[in-house]
Structure 1
Amino acid sequence: MILYFSATGNSEYLAKSLGDELGDEVVDLFSYIKEGKLGVFESDSPFILITPTYSWRIPLFLSEYLLTCDFKGSKDFYVVMDYGDSCGNAYNYIKEDLHKLSLNFKGLYGIKMPENYIMLFDLDSPETNKKIIADAKNDIEKIARYIKNKEVFPKSKVGLVGKFQSAIINPIFFKFIVKDKKFYATDKCISCGLCSKACVLNNISYKDGRPVWNGRCTHCSACISKCPKAAIEYGKKTNGKKRYLLSKLLDSKNQNNDIKCK
């Protein structure tokens, strides 16, 4: 069973691609987390979590949710993380979580995917992202072989920088940088409510027809990326920047038969 969380499509794409390779069930955790549903998952095949990397670890809210879940059947648990820079030392923290759940950690596999964090970075060119996605498909095939053969993912060596990023920068980043006070809606807002629906943490409400962020943001980029009018901005950081959704990138590529989205 493949479990995933995705805000802008990267992890969803990997999860569905791996599901096709393995012929396995694919489960979106978004509604479970947003609606506070109890996660009881049963599978005879290994569990596979596919998740984005937030500041060199899996998202804190996702880690907290997994610890409330009940996993029945197989005790084997693989983790796949897509990243823009690296996974840092995420391995150790995931291993601790799975130990608490009495699950058999079968390793972490990191896959580079297109950058989506426009509140801090610029997007790469479509050509660059096309190459990144093509490489990711090769990784998915490798991952499928490891899982079919019941092998542990090869462990990547983590240097001092990676350990520092996950242990020191991560908590500092979420304490001081991951804030939502800079989010606002421009006059292009049509009060469609999509940003509120896209927020996994139910952090967006409406006042006088405009979205309001309520202090529980995790900077997943879903609201700013999925707004149909590009009406959401983050201070001056996002002014003039294109938004990122993998589905739009794949649609544009499909017109040229470059990449086929399954």
Structure 2
Amino acid sequence: MRTIIYYFTGTGNSLAAAKTIAAGLSDCELVSIASLRNTPGDIVPPAGRVGIVCPVYDAGLPVIVAAFAHRLSLAGTRYVFGIVTLGGAGGTSALRQLDHILKERNSRGLSAAFDVKMPGNFPPVHRPPEGKEKDGILASADGQLTEIAGRIQKGEQVPVGFSLFAWLMHAATYRFFSGSVHAGDKKFSVSDSCTSCGTCAKVCPVGNITMVQGRPAWQHHCELCCACLHFCPVEAIDLHSMQGTKGRGRYRHPALKIEDMKAQAEGNR
């Protein structure tokens, strides 16, 4: 059965997950959700099996992924799976949100739903793990994803789980997050250590950064994926939220490259 996996990633965890799943399936294509953001009309996958892979933001979906799900037409699709990557809590609530959107749009939801723990990488909340701790989390995730790919290949039905804590967290925080995320880039700053390399603009999946007089300028359609923060080679970018990010480490999946992020934005994968 032909499979299309739609993905969104900020630091590479979800892209790595999508690639591992794709490797376990036959005739599978990866498609960037970010590359479809400005296309008109419904999205009709030419595949019998469809997957959506993304991170968890504030116990819910990235806003760009929620908007994509509202446009997704599944009339010709027999099996739909969702996989969310996360460093903390909120996986079940994000999957329930996705399931609900798909049911509203298509009168059917997810055939299978999975959450996978990967290194937390939102520095105001998670100080990214390093060394053996990071390697252990990634190795465990790889094993889980390989198992998940096998279950998807068999067409297993895996219902969306429920966590009261995740549901309460989603109810308490997600509405504010989704309503303010695009202007959340006002909390980014760039220090004098900036080298004007332009990496931040290159990796932004939604083209939210332009270089003005050699320094990044955010354009207020941010998804708060923090790719700009994590990819800066001199850590010149900080996010002033909660505990802030200065001195709290940076992270990207070890297999992720700048070219992968550019491909995500442009749809060249």
Q: Same fold (TM over 0.5)?
A: yes
Deviations 1:23-43 (A, max 9, x none): 342324155146x23544211
Q: TM-score, normalised by structure 2?
A: 0.81
- Which residue of 2 is the match for residue 208 of structure 1? 213
Letter of the 2:62 partner, please give it: P
Q: Percent identity?
A: 26
| Match among 221, 233, 239 for residue 228 of structure 1 | 233
| Match among 159, 163, 170 for residue 167 of structure 2 | 163
- Which residue of 1 is the match for residue 70 of structure 2? 67
C-alpha distance in structure 1 between counterparts of 2:109 and 2:34, whole Å? 26
- Which residue of 1 is the match for residue 264 of structure 2? none
**Partner SS for 1:42:** coil
| Match among 231, 249, 252 for residue 242 of structure 1 | 249
**Partner SS for 1:108:** strand
Contact 2:16 2:255 in 1 (8 A): no
| Match among 117, 135, 140 for residue 130 of structure 1 | 135
Cα shift at 1:131: 1.2
**Partner SS for 1:217:** coil
C-alpha distance in structure 1 between counterparts of 2:83 and 2:118, whole Å? 12
C-alpha distance in structure 1 between counterparts of 2:256 and 2:16, whole Å? 12
Which stretch has the larger CA shift, 53-62 or 143-152? 143-152
Change (3 A) 1:97 1:217: same
C-alpha distance in structure 1 between counterparts of 2:228 and 2:23, whole Å? 28
Structure with more contact order per residue of length (Cα contacts < 8 Å, sep ≥ 6) = 2
Count of residues in correspondence between the two structures: 247
Q: How does 1:61-210 map to 2 (within 5 A)?
A: 61-71=64-74, 73-86=76-89, 87-102=91-106, 103-159=108-164, 161-175=165-179, 179-210=184-215
Change (3 A) 1:50 1:176: closer
Contact 2:33 2:65 in 1 (8 A): no
C-alpha distance in structure 2 between counterparts of 1:175 and 1:43, whole Å? 33
Contact 2:116 2:141 in 1 (8 A): yes
**Partner SS for 1:179:** helix
Q: Structure 2, unaligned stretches of length 5 or more?
A: 258-269
Runs of 4+ in 1 over 6 A off after TM superposition: none
C-alpha distance in structure 2 between counterparts of 1:215 and 1:119, whole Å? 20
Cα shift at 1:104: 4.5
Deviations 1:120-151 (A, max 9, x none): 33112321111111111221122122212211
C-alpha distance in structure 1 between counterparts of 2:249 and 2:76, whole Å? 44
Change (3 A) 1:20 1:248: closer
Cα shift at 1:19: 0.8
Give the aligned CA root-mean-square deviation in angstroms. 2.5
Cα shift at 1:249: 9.0
Letter of the 2:15 partner, please give it: E
C-alpha distance in structure 2 between counterparts of 1:107 and 1:164, whole Å? 23
- Which residue of 1 is the match for residue 39 of structure 2? 37
**Partner SS for 2:110:** strand
Q: TM-score, normalised by structure 1?
A: 0.83
Change (3 A) 1:154 1:126: farther
